[in-house]
Amino acid sequence: MMELEKIQNTAIIGCGVMGFGIAVVILNKGYNVVVVEKDKPSLERGLEYIKKFYEGTVKRGKITKEKADENLFRLKGTTDFKDIPENSIVIEAVYEDIAVKQDVISKVEEVVEEDTPIFTNTSSIPVIEISAKMRFPERFLGFHFFNPPPVMKLIEIIPSLKTDERYIKFAIDFAKKLDKDPVVSKDTPAFIGNALLIPFILEAVSMYEKGISTPEDIDKACKLGLGQPMGPFELADFMGLDIVLQIADNVFERTRDPRFSAPAKLRELVSAGFLGRKVGRGFYDYQKPKPFGVEL
Domains of the chain: 4-184 (3.40.50.720), 193-279 (1.10.1040.10)
Q: Considering Cα of 254, then 258, then 259, then 262, what sign does the dihedral take? A: positive
- pLDDT tens digit sequence for 236-275: 999 999 999 999 999 999 999 999 999 999 999 999 999 9
Cβ-based neighbour number of residue 135 at 10 Å: 11
Exposure on the CB side of residue 106, measured as CA atoms within 13 A: 9
Q: What is the pLDDT of residue 275?
A: 96
Residue 83 makes CB contacts below 8 A (sequence gap 6+) with: 34, 36, 76
Residue ranges of the alpha helices (H) in 74-119? 98-111
Please give the single-letter amino acid code of residue 128: I
Among residues 220, 189, 192, 198, which one has the least CA distance to residue 266?
A: 198
The CA-based angle 244-246-250, given to 5 degrees, is 120
- pLDDT tens digit sequence for 145-186: 999 999 999 999 999 999 999 999 999 999 999 999 999 999
Among residues 67, 54, 44, which one has the least CA distance to residue 24?
A: 54
Q: What is the pLDDT of residue 112?
A: 97
Catalytic residue numbers? 123, 144, 156, 194
Q: Are 23 and 31 in contact (CB under 8 A)?
A: no
Among residues 38, 44, 17, which one has the least CA distance to residue 123?
A: 17
Rounded mean pLDDT of 86-102? Answer: 96
- pLDDT tens digit sequence for 47-66: 999 999 999 999 999 999 99
Confidence check: pLDDT of 291 > 90? no
Q: What is the pLDDT of residue 290?
A: 58
- pLDDT tens digit sequence for 16-35: 989 999 999 999 999 999 99
Among residues 114, 123, 67, which one has the least CA distance to residue 90?
A: 114
Burial class, 67, CB count within 10 angstroms (exposed 0-12 / middle 13-18 / buried 19+): middle
Edge-first strand listing for the sheet containing 9-13 = 75-78, 32-36, 9-13, 88-92, 118-120, 140-145, 154-159, 181-184
- pLDDT tens digit sequence for 2-18: 899 999 999 999 999 89
Q: What is the pLDDT of residue 118?
A: 98
Write down the pTM of the prediction. Answer: 0.93
Confidence check: pLDDT of 295 > 60? no
At residue 1 the predicted structure's pLDDT band, cuts being 50, 70 and 90, is confident
